Amino acid sequence: MDTKSPADFTNHDEWISYVRENIPAAGQPYALACGRTELFKSFYEVRQRTFPVEFAQKLERVETLGEPGRTSELESLNRRIFANLTESLSDQAQSKVIAADAVIPASPSRRTQQLLDHLTARNPNFALWIAYKNVMKADFDAHGWDDYLCAELGPESSDDIAFTCGMAELDRLLLYFRDRNLPLPRHFFEHCCSLHYLRGPERMLQTRDLLNILTAEIEACTSA
Protein backbone atom coordinates (compact mmCIF):
# COMPACT_ATOMS: atom_id res chain seq x y z
CA MET A 1 0.00 0.00 0.00
CA ASP A 2 1.12 3.59 -0.66
CA THR A 3 2.99 5.13 2.25
CA LYS A 4 0.99 8.37 2.27
CA SER A 5 -0.99 9.15 5.40
CA PRO A 6 -3.42 11.87 6.57
CA ALA A 7 -0.41 13.96 7.69
CA ASP A 8 0.54 14.43 4.03
CA PHE A 9 -2.66 16.37 3.32
CA THR A 10 -3.91 19.78 4.40
CA ASN A 11 -7.27 18.43 5.58
CA HIS A 12 -9.10 15.16 6.14
CA ASP A 13 -11.31 15.52 3.05
CA GLU A 14 -8.22 15.57 0.81
CA TRP A 15 -7.01 12.36 2.46
CA ILE A 16 -10.38 10.67 1.91
CA SER A 17 -10.41 11.77 -1.74
CA TYR A 18 -6.89 10.44 -2.23
CA VAL A 19 -7.82 7.04 -0.83
CA ARG A 20 -11.00 6.84 -2.95
CA GLU A 21 -9.14 7.79 -6.14
CA ASN A 22 -5.82 5.98 -5.75
CA ILE A 23 -6.39 2.82 -3.73
CA PRO A 24 -8.41 -0.15 -5.04
CA ALA A 25 -11.84 -0.50 -3.43
CA ALA A 26 -10.87 -3.71 -1.66
CA GLY A 27 -8.00 -1.96 0.10
CA GLN A 28 -9.77 1.28 1.04
CA PRO A 29 -11.22 0.16 4.42
CA TYR A 30 -7.75 -0.87 5.60
CA ALA A 31 -6.18 2.35 4.29
CA LEU A 32 -8.75 4.46 6.14
CA ALA A 33 -8.25 2.42 9.32
CA CYS A 34 -4.49 2.99 8.99
CA GLY A 35 -5.18 6.70 8.68
CA ARG A 36 -7.10 6.68 11.96
CA THR A 37 -4.23 4.81 13.61
CA GLU A 38 -1.79 7.47 12.44
CA LEU A 39 -4.11 10.18 13.75
CA PHE A 40 -4.21 8.54 17.18
CA LYS A 41 -0.41 8.13 17.19
CA SER A 42 -0.05 11.85 16.44
CA PHE A 43 -2.17 12.63 19.52
CA TYR A 44 0.46 10.87 21.63
CA GLU A 45 3.26 12.76 19.89
CA VAL A 46 1.81 16.25 20.35
CA ARG A 47 1.25 15.46 24.04
CA GLN A 48 4.84 14.17 24.31
CA ARG A 49 3.66 10.75 25.36
CA THR A 50 5.12 7.44 24.22
CA PHE A 51 2.90 5.27 22.05
CA PRO A 52 2.17 2.22 24.28
CA VAL A 53 4.42 -0.75 23.52
CA GLU A 54 1.49 -3.18 23.63
CA PHE A 55 -0.24 -1.23 20.85
CA ALA A 56 2.92 -1.00 18.77
CA GLN A 57 3.44 -4.77 19.04
CA LYS A 58 -0.18 -5.47 18.18
CA LEU A 59 0.09 -3.15 15.19
CA GLU A 60 3.11 -5.07 13.90
CA ARG A 61 1.16 -8.32 14.13
CA VAL A 62 -1.88 -6.83 12.40
CA GLU A 63 0.27 -5.71 9.46
CA THR A 64 1.25 -9.33 8.78
CA LEU A 65 -2.36 -10.51 8.46
CA GLY A 66 -4.40 -10.94 5.31
CA GLU A 67 -7.93 -9.74 4.64
CA PRO A 68 -10.57 -9.64 5.92
CA GLY A 69 -9.01 -10.22 9.32
CA ARG A 70 -6.44 -7.45 8.99
CA THR A 71 -8.93 -4.59 8.72
CA SER A 72 -11.15 -6.03 11.45
CA GLU A 73 -8.20 -6.43 13.82
CA LEU A 74 -6.97 -2.90 13.09
CA GLU A 75 -10.40 -1.39 13.74
CA SER A 76 -10.49 -3.27 17.06
CA LEU A 77 -7.04 -1.95 17.91
CA ASN A 78 -8.11 1.59 17.03
CA ARG A 79 -10.95 1.34 19.53
CA ARG A 80 -8.50 0.24 22.23
CA ILE A 81 -6.13 3.09 21.39
CA PHE A 82 -8.97 5.61 21.52
CA ALA A 83 -10.11 4.27 24.89
CA ASN A 84 -6.56 4.60 26.21
CA LEU A 85 -6.32 8.18 24.95
CA THR A 86 -9.61 9.03 26.60
CA GLU A 87 -8.41 7.56 29.88
CA SER A 88 -5.23 9.66 29.69
CA LEU A 89 -7.16 12.84 28.91
CA SER A 90 -9.49 12.09 31.80
CA ASP A 91 -6.59 11.68 34.24
CA GLN A 92 -5.07 14.97 33.08
CA ALA A 93 -8.37 16.81 33.37
CA GLN A 94 -9.00 15.41 36.83
CA SER A 95 -5.58 16.52 38.06
CA LYS A 96 -6.23 20.08 36.82
CA VAL A 97 -9.62 20.51 38.46
CA ILE A 98 -9.09 18.59 41.70
CA ALA A 99 -7.81 21.65 43.59
CA ALA A 100 -10.73 23.83 42.47
CA ASP A 101 -13.24 21.10 43.20
CA ALA A 102 -11.78 20.68 46.67
CA VAL A 103 -12.65 24.32 47.42
CA ILE A 104 -15.98 24.52 45.58
CA PRO A 105 -17.08 21.10 44.28
CA ALA A 106 -18.71 21.40 40.87
CA SER A 107 -22.31 20.25 40.91
CA PRO A 108 -23.41 17.71 38.28
CA SER A 109 -25.44 20.45 36.63
CA ARG A 110 -22.46 22.79 36.44
CA ARG A 111 -20.20 20.04 35.11
CA THR A 112 -22.68 19.23 32.33
CA GLN A 113 -22.96 22.92 31.44
CA GLN A 114 -19.17 23.05 31.18
CA LEU A 115 -19.32 20.18 28.70
CA LEU A 116 -22.04 21.93 26.68
CA ASP A 117 -19.96 25.12 26.58
CA HIS A 118 -16.87 23.18 25.54
CA LEU A 119 -18.68 21.38 22.72
CA THR A 120 -20.16 24.63 21.43
CA ALA A 121 -16.72 26.25 21.36
CA ARG A 122 -14.66 23.33 20.01
CA ASN A 123 -16.93 20.93 18.10
CA PRO A 124 -17.98 22.53 14.75
CA ASN A 125 -20.85 20.11 14.19
CA PHE A 126 -22.24 20.68 17.68
CA ALA A 127 -21.89 24.44 17.17
CA LEU A 128 -23.80 24.15 13.87
CA TRP A 129 -26.73 22.60 15.73
CA ILE A 130 -26.61 25.22 18.50
CA ALA A 131 -26.63 28.05 15.95
CA TYR A 132 -29.68 26.58 14.20
CA LYS A 133 -31.47 25.93 17.51
CA ASN A 134 -30.84 29.48 18.72
CA VAL A 135 -32.25 30.96 15.51
CA MET A 136 -35.29 28.71 15.37
CA LYS A 137 -35.95 28.63 19.13
CA ALA A 138 -39.40 27.07 19.65
CA ASP A 139 -40.09 26.81 15.91
CA PHE A 140 -37.89 23.76 15.30
CA ASP A 141 -38.88 21.81 12.22
CA ALA A 142 -37.27 18.47 11.39
CA HIS A 143 -37.62 18.96 7.65
CA GLY A 144 -36.17 22.45 7.88
CA TRP A 145 -33.24 21.09 9.91
CA ASP A 146 -32.51 18.52 7.18
CA ASP A 147 -32.60 21.23 4.52
CA TYR A 148 -30.32 23.43 6.62
CA LEU A 149 -27.75 20.65 6.99
CA CYS A 150 -27.76 19.91 3.27
CA ALA A 151 -27.27 23.60 2.51
CA GLU A 152 -24.46 24.04 5.07
CA LEU A 153 -22.59 20.75 4.59
CA GLY A 154 -23.61 19.69 1.10
CA PRO A 155 -26.05 16.87 0.30
CA GLU A 156 -23.14 14.54 -0.49
CA SER A 157 -21.66 14.92 3.03
CA SER A 158 -23.73 12.10 4.51
CA ASP A 159 -21.19 11.30 7.25
CA ASP A 160 -21.03 14.91 8.48
CA ILE A 161 -24.83 15.22 8.30
CA ALA A 162 -25.30 12.05 10.37
CA PHE A 163 -22.71 13.21 12.91
CA THR A 164 -24.33 16.64 13.24
CA CYS A 165 -27.71 14.99 13.82
CA GLY A 166 -26.01 12.93 16.50
CA MET A 167 -24.76 16.14 18.11
CA ALA A 168 -28.31 17.51 18.19
CA GLU A 169 -29.42 14.37 20.04
CA LEU A 170 -26.43 14.66 22.37
CA ASP A 171 -27.42 18.23 23.22
CA ARG A 172 -30.96 17.18 24.11
CA LEU A 173 -29.73 14.36 26.35
CA LEU A 174 -27.14 16.56 28.08
CA LEU A 175 -29.79 19.20 28.79
CA TYR A 176 -31.89 16.50 30.45
CA PHE A 177 -28.97 15.68 32.75
CA ARG A 178 -28.16 19.35 33.42
CA ASP A 179 -31.71 20.40 34.23
CA ARG A 180 -32.13 17.52 36.68
CA ASN A 181 -28.65 17.86 38.21
CA LEU A 182 -27.81 14.25 37.28
CA PRO A 183 -24.14 13.21 37.24
CA LEU A 184 -22.67 12.19 33.90
CA PRO A 185 -21.20 8.68 33.57
CA ARG A 186 -17.51 8.26 34.37
CA HIS A 187 -15.19 9.59 31.61
CA PHE A 188 -18.18 10.81 29.59
CA PHE A 189 -16.86 14.39 29.51
CA GLU A 190 -13.53 13.30 27.99
CA HIS A 191 -15.13 10.96 25.44
CA CYS A 192 -17.34 13.80 24.18
CA CYS A 193 -14.46 16.24 23.97
CA SER A 194 -12.60 13.88 21.61
CA LEU A 195 -15.45 12.98 19.26
CA HIS A 196 -14.93 15.66 16.60
CA TYR A 197 -11.29 14.61 16.12
CA LEU A 198 -12.44 11.27 14.74
CA ARG A 199 -13.32 10.57 11.12
CA GLY A 200 -14.94 7.76 9.18
CA PRO A 201 -16.94 4.92 10.76
CA GLU A 202 -15.10 5.32 14.09
CA ARG A 203 -16.76 8.68 14.72
CA MET A 204 -20.35 7.48 14.44
CA LEU A 205 -19.59 4.26 16.32
CA GLN A 206 -18.31 6.27 19.26
CA THR A 207 -21.19 8.75 18.97
CA ARG A 208 -23.84 6.04 19.04
CA ASP A 209 -22.14 4.40 22.01
CA LEU A 210 -22.23 7.66 23.98
CA LEU A 211 -25.85 8.37 23.07
CA ASN A 212 -26.83 4.85 24.12
CA ILE A 213 -25.00 5.27 27.44
CA LEU A 214 -26.91 8.46 28.27
CA THR A 215 -30.22 6.98 27.15
CA ALA A 216 -29.67 3.91 29.33
CA GLU A 217 -28.85 6.14 32.32
CA ILE A 218 -32.06 8.09 31.82
CA GLU A 219 -34.13 4.91 31.51
CA ALA A 220 -32.56 3.60 34.72
CA CYS A 221 -33.40 6.83 36.55
CA THR A 222 -37.02 6.98 35.35
CA SER A 223 -37.68 3.32 36.18
CA ALA A 224 -36.21 3.53 39.68
152 by Cβ neighbours in 10 Å (0-12 / 13-18 / 19+) ranks as middle
* pLDDT number for residue 14: 76
Domain membership flag for residue 185: yes
For residue 97, tell me if it sits in a domain. Answer: no
pLDDT band for position 174 (50/70/90)? very high
Domain assignment present for residue 25? The answer is yes
Same domain, 26 and 65: yes
In a domain, 23, yes or no: yes
Shared-domain flag, residues 119 and 27: no
pTM (2 d.p.): 0.57
Q: Are residues 197 and 118 in the same domain?
A: yes
Both 75 and 111 in one domain: the answer is: no
User: 9: helix, coil or strand?
Assistant: coil
pLDDT classification of 1: cutoffs 50, 70, 90: very low
Which domain covers residue 192, as residue numbers?
Answer: 106-223
> Does 123 lie in the same domain as 202?
yes
Are 140 and 69 in a shared domain? Answer: no
Are 157 and 195 part of one and the same domain? yes
Residue 123 and residue 46 in one domain: no
Q: Do 75 and 110 belong together in one domain? A: no
- Looking at the domain assignment, is residue 173 inside a domain? yes
Q: What is the pLDDT at residue 98?
A: 47
For the cut 60, the answer to whether the pLDDT of residue 31 exceeds it is yes
CA–CA distance, 105 with 14 (Å, rounded to integer):
45
Domain presence at residue 95: no
Number of C-alpha atoms within 13 angstroms, CB side, residue 125? 27
For residue 64, tell me if it sits in a domain. yes
| Tens digits of residue pLDDT in 76-97 | 888 787 777 766 665 555 555 4
Each residue of 96-143: pLDDT tens digit? Answer: 544 444 445 568 899 899 889 888 888 888 988 888 887 776 666 667
What pLDDT is attached to residue 134? 79
Number of folded domains that form the chain:
2
Question: Do 75 and 110 share a structural domain?
Answer: no
Rounded to an integer, what distance in angstroms lies between the CA atom of residue 132 and that of residue 144?
10
* Cα distances (Å, whole numbers) of residue 73 to 69, 180, 223: 6, 41, 38
Residue 34 lies in a domain: yes
